[in-house]
Structure 1
Amino acid sequence: MTTSMPASERLGSHIKRTEQALNATKTAVLKPAGLTVAQYAALLCLDGNPGISAAALARLCGVTPPTMNTVLKNLQDRALIDRTPHEWHRNVLETRLTDQGRAALADADAGAVRVERALGAAFTDEEREALVALLGRCTEVLERERP
């Protein structure tokens, strides 16, 4: 069977390859800190949003609520986060970093920032701005195309 568009012309293939390379590199640099990419993302978002619910955190991290619940359970088992009932909404658990969680995040963040800086250094300021704008446009188009 011949397809109507060669793989080399499919932007999605190029974006996916880049995403896979980024995830593989971050996985490697986060391993010494004992965190997965998903756990690191959750800790990073929690650092800026203390008390956030699991559902809101899942949306911020771009994962499903069941996936986030698994991530949070693993972080809680390691005492990196605390989850306590919301003051008014008892069915909602507020999630916060513990001191151990902040230390793990700081340790992991050093490696992740090193990767981000290396990636950013491959571009001029103008190229970086253009890339961010182009990726934003990709996101907008794809969100409009979603059934």
Structure 2
Amino acid sequence: MTSLPASERLGSHLKRAEQALIATKAAVLKPTGLTVPQYAALLHLAESPGISAAALARLCGVTPPTMNTVLKNLQEHGLIVRTPHEWHRNVLETRLTDEGRTVMADADGRAVRVERALAAEFTDEEREMLVGLLGRCVSLLEEQRPGA
């Protein structure tokens, strides 16, 4: 017997919510041909054109090798272009192509509908409280991480 039942572990509830969100987004993004990580990369590229792969990986919460795979796939589908930085030749800048912007707009509309449906389940006060509570979770967990 464990010292804390699974039903009482907040981490289990957080993981279930994350998995449900990712699965729903994956389903609504399927017609666009994008995976959730590809969509996340395009979303951040739309907001920060020219961002490096390393910075993009941090924003998307994936490892640099994973991000390189995501970017390779997006490039092969003509959704992004990668060019050497003007001053730092070993850094590749990544930008959306016209097709990438079109696919991103479609995918973002689909993802936003999921986000709005989720937000609609809560009152304004509940949403504010949930965001605050999740922020506290993140802060505590980051403080607890060995080596932090």
TM-score (norm 2): 0.98
Residue pairs, 1:1-147, within 5 angstroms: 2-147=1-146
Unaligned runs of 5+ in 1: none
**Structure 1 letter corresponding to 2:7:** S
How many residue pairs align between the two structures? 146
Which digits, 9 at most, give the CA deviation of each residue in 1:89-142, with x for residues without a partner?
Answer: 100000000000000001111110100000000000000000000000000001
Q: Residue 75 of structure 2: SS of its match in structure 1?
A: helix
Displacement over 4 Å in runs of 4+: none
CA distance in 2, matches of 1:25, 1:143: 27
The alignment-based identity, stated in percent, is: 79
**Structure 2 letter corresponding to 1:53:** S
CA distance in 2, matches of 1:109, 1:61: 15
Q: Residue 15 of structure 1: SS of its match in structure 2?
A: helix
TM-score (norm 1): 0.99
C-alpha RMSD over aligned residues: 0.4
| 1:59 Cα deviation after fit | 0.4
CA distance in 2, matches of 1:64, 1:123: 33
